Amino acid sequence: MIREYLGKKAARSIERSKYGQTKIGKMSATYLDEDRIEDHGYATMASVTDELQHPYFRYHIYWIALATNLISWLSVIFLPFIVSKIVLSLALIFSKGGLLLIIPAFSSTMFGIYALLRMWFPETIDANNPADVMQSYQQQSDSLRTWKMWVASCGGGAVNAILLIITYFYMTDEWQQYAQ
């Protein structure tokens, strides 16, 4: 309650300052005041899934996901003891701190697979013609296809994260303590 009040007060003071009308000022005020969190000042960017309809953004997401996975795998394979120290440090700070290292591998794979699937099965263009005979069926079919793509993407991300965990345990010889 105090945090929300202070956030709103800080957002109002930023908004009234000379920097309040700049993009950074608007974003700072938005992040301080949680009631404004829906509108970041970008009318075209509702969410990442809406932006994945644009092919240029899909290619960027795909290459960023590939680079993140490559960094994750190479660090586990070639620097396992440094990763082990990072896991230990995060586990001392957070209760599930070691799992924070799995988030980049899971999320980058998930978004990368979704972007790849969207390249193969692009979004159908909706004409929004209410006179179409099978319009509701077409919308339901497109929604089901999108849902299946997200499920496949999450499954691919989970498989990548599990394989990364297994590789980490094998490289650091910690799997023996869990095998007994």
Residues 6+ apart with CB under 8 A from 118: 52, 53, 58, 149
Low-confidence ranges of the chain (pLDDT < 70): 1, 3, 27, 31-54, 124-136, 175, 177-180
pLDDT at 140: 73
pLDDT at 179: 64
Cα dihedral across residues 97, 78, 173, 175: positive or negative: positive
Nearest to 126 by CA among 146, 115, 114, 142: 142
Q: Which two three-digit tokens encode residue 7?
A: 């956030």
pTM assigned to the model: 0.62
pLDDT digits (tens, 9 = 90+) for 76-108: 899 888 888 888 888 787 777 777 778 888 999
Q: Using CA atoms, how far apart are residues 128 and 47, in angstroms rounded to an integer?
A: 21
Q: Using CA atoms, how far apart are residues 1 and 168, in angstroms rounded to an integer?
A: 42
